Chain A
Amino acid sequence: MRALGRIADPPATLPPRPAQPRARRGGSGRFVGALAAAAIVLVLFGAWELYADLGPVDRLILPAPHDVAKALYVDRGLLWDNFTVTAGEVLLGIVVAGAAGFVCAIALHMWFTLRISVYPLLVASQTIPIVMVAPLLVTWLGFGLAPKLAIIGLISFFPIVVTTLDALGRVDAELRKLLRTLDAPRLRILRHVELPAALPGLFSGAKLAVVFAVIGAVFAEWSGSDAGLGHLFQQAIPQLLTARAYAAVMILSAFAIALFGLLTLAERLLVPWAKDPPGGNSR
């Protein structure tokens, strides 16, 4: 063993390489971007405010941003109660769709026959106009949570399956050869290599899915419900409570953005290697 000491060169000669530059811009660039985005939003709201205040349209038809802000404050109790209903539907729907989508992607990945038979059907299922299916589901499943979960699940399931399946299959061909020479059985390859490699795909799918899920929740509520922001919106329009309707829209947008942001944050914490170059050193 002593002779082997020479093999080891002192680690000091090879300090860990500092973090490689990533494909994204550093702090200052991002700050400028955020500033520009805020400026654009501010300009748009300003234009809206001016047009609503000074333009030819009645403020009952087109409320000004300050009317919406007022509605947000005055109706806060009502908005909050309905928001919790919609948020609950969305979160539950996403969790169900995420779990089902992940399991389904693994099954499709593992069984070729399943993949070639079911995957085309899955794609075809996306051509079903969900807006029309929603009332049918409500007729069938009633006014409760079940049709909402079904609709949100239908909408968000697909992106999760596609991105996860894609990530499962993108494991390097060379790595697969290497694993074969390591005598790795199929299930252990799945567990030790493919599943971790698929996590970034799951996150990409989930980020798309949350945005769709909020839209799905609104369709579901429009099709028949007694609570939720979609329901509140639908009731506000005929009463000409347009400021309240706009407030509901803004809350739902903010909610979708917040979910997207949370998922991005979770992705960065849980799969920090997602942006590392795959497969190893390059020139």
Chain B
Amino acid sequence: MDGVRVDGVERVFRGRRGDEVVALRGMDLRAAQGEIVAVVGASGCGKSTLLELICGLQEPDAGSVQADPAVLMPQRDLLLPWASALDNAALALRVRGVPAAAARAQARPWFERFGLAGFEHARPRALSGGMRQRVAFVRTLLAGKPVLALDEPFAALDALTRQEMQAWLSHALIAEPRTVVLVTHDVEEAVVLGDRVVVMSPRPGRAVAELDVALPRPRHRTDAAVVALRERALEALGAPA
């Protein structure tokens, strides 16, 4: 298995009174090794469920999910408030039993590379939102999984920081290629970051369109080609462009 392969997946949640919510029905998704697939859809279309299926946190009710080991990066950074930035990043190693000194030694070079040098010993509350998200990304990388499942990783950031972080992530993934499934409700973000954009229908969610983004990087929101693709994606979403 290389990458991610989701075939005809159905996921149904049953409420206490027997009512059913079909989160996904007939959902297909492919992500080749090293490919960045951006999944866009309206809120509640089952995007997060899709990522949890890929991460093995849930089982499909029908269909199949095959994926290389995946690590989840949620919208909130979820840094531990008592631990330093370095220890937060090293958590991915510590919970697998790596001794503290070795875990920190492995985490430290990433701080240099990701512009976090000098903030190793800062507590999360002393870091800006963008920096916190970068620490969380280092933690995600240190998990050592071939697949990254990014669940709206920048949605909680302000607009300016979000754009900075999109550009940053784009660079970071060129340097550290991984299979990425990026879920977002921000069409622009999907086009700027993805090799491919998958558009999902409202609930029950399934893939209704797929756009190849064969554009050179770095991409900018204002590039004509990016804007054109954004319009096409919005159209597929059924939103007035």
Contacts and interface: CB of A to CB of B under 8 A. Distances in A.
Nearest to B149: A181
A192 B94 contact: yes
Q: What bracket does the count of chain B residues touching chain A fall in?
A: 35 or more
Nearest to B129: A281
Contact of B116 (A6, A11, A15, A192): A11
B117 A11 contact: yes
Interface stretch (B72-80, B184-192, B193-201, B208-216): B72-80
Contacts, number: 130
Interface stretch (B12-20, B168-176, B223-231): B168-176
Interface stretch (A42-50, A206-214, A250-258, A270-278): A270-278
Interface stretch (B24-32, B38-46, B120-128): B120-128
A174 B76 contact: yes
Contacts of A15: 128
B145 A16 contact: no
A175 interface: yes
A4 interface: yes
B128 A14 contact: yes
Contact of A279 (B71, B76, B92, B95): B76
B1 interface: no
B82 A196 contact: yes
Contacts of A7: 113-115, 168, 171-172, 175
A34 B127 CA distance: 33
A183 B96 contact: yes
Contacts of B112: 8
B175 A182 contact: no
B132 A182 contact: no
A20 B125 contact: yes
DSSP majority for the A interface? Answer: loop
B91 interface: yes
Contact of B78 (A1, A20, A178): A178
Contact of B77 (A181, A271, A273, A280): A280
Given A7-B171, A181-B55, A280 B124 contact: yes
A17 B82 contact: no
B236 to A, nearest CB: 28
Contacts of B168: 7, 9
Contact of B115 (A10, A16, A193, A280): A10
A16 B94 contact: no
A189 B115 contact: no
Contacts of A178: 72-74, 78
A129 interface: no
B59 interface: no
Contact of A278 (B81, B114, B118): B81
Contacts of A20: 125
A56 interface: no
Nearest to B116: A11
A276 B52 contact: no
Given A16-B122, A174-B78, A185 B132 contact: no
A188 B94 CA distance: 8
B57 interface: yes
B125 A273 contact: yes
A24 interface: no
Contacts of A9: 115, 164, 168
Given A6-B171, A11-B116, A196-B83, 17 more contacts: A7-B172, A11-B118, A14-B130, A16-B122, A19-B126, A172-B76, A174-B74, A174-B78, A181-B145, A184-B95, A188-B95, A193-B91, A273-B123, A280-B76, A280-B132, A281-B129, A281-B157
Interface of B: 52, 55-57, 70-74, 76-83, 91-92, 94-97, 112-119, 122-133, 136, 143, 145, 149, 156-158, 164, 168, 171-172, 175
